[in-house]
Every structure is written in structure tokens, then in C-alpha cells.
Amino acid sequence: MVPFNMRSGQNVHAWIDFDGPNFEINVTIAPAGVSDLSAQLSPSGIR
């Protein structure tokens, strides 16, 4: 994971994936303009 300042005022994109059978949510945050999920900065699993 790469540190990322959410208070910088920079635009971000967030991807939210829900895996129903496993009841798992994955949230990925990256700077605006990054469309490749392999360049994700902050994946976070929530159970």
C-alpha cells in the first residue's frame, strides 16, 4: 500500500467491489486519472 493524503484536495476515484457469496466489500482509492486497478493505492477489505 502507498501512503495517500485524502486531505490534499486532490481529486480521487474510488472503486467498490462487493463479493456477495463471501459477504466481502473491497474499496480501492486512487488519484483521478488512474484507470488501471493494478495501480491502486489503498485497497481496504471490510468484513
Q: Using alpha carbons only, what angle is made at residue 43 by residues 21 and 7, rounded to the nearest 5 degrees?
A: 135
**Does the residue 31 lie in any domain?**
yes
**Does the residue 33 lie in any domain?**
yes
CB 24 within 8 A of CB 43: no
pLDDT score recorded for residue 15: 85
- The per-residue pLDDT for range 1-47, each reduced to its tens digit, is 666 777 888 888 888 999 999 999 988 888 887 666 555 544 555 54
**Does the residue 35 lie in any domain?**
yes
What pTM, to 2 d.p., does this model score? 0.53
Q: The domain containing residue 27 runs over which residues?
A: 12-46
**Does the residue 3 lie in any domain?**
no
CB 15 within 8 A of CB 31: no
**Does the residue 38 lie in any domain?**
yes
**Does the residue 16 lie in any domain?**
yes
C-alpha distances (whole Å) from 40 to each of 12, 21, 22 are 11, 24, 22
When divided into structural domains, the chain yields a total of 1
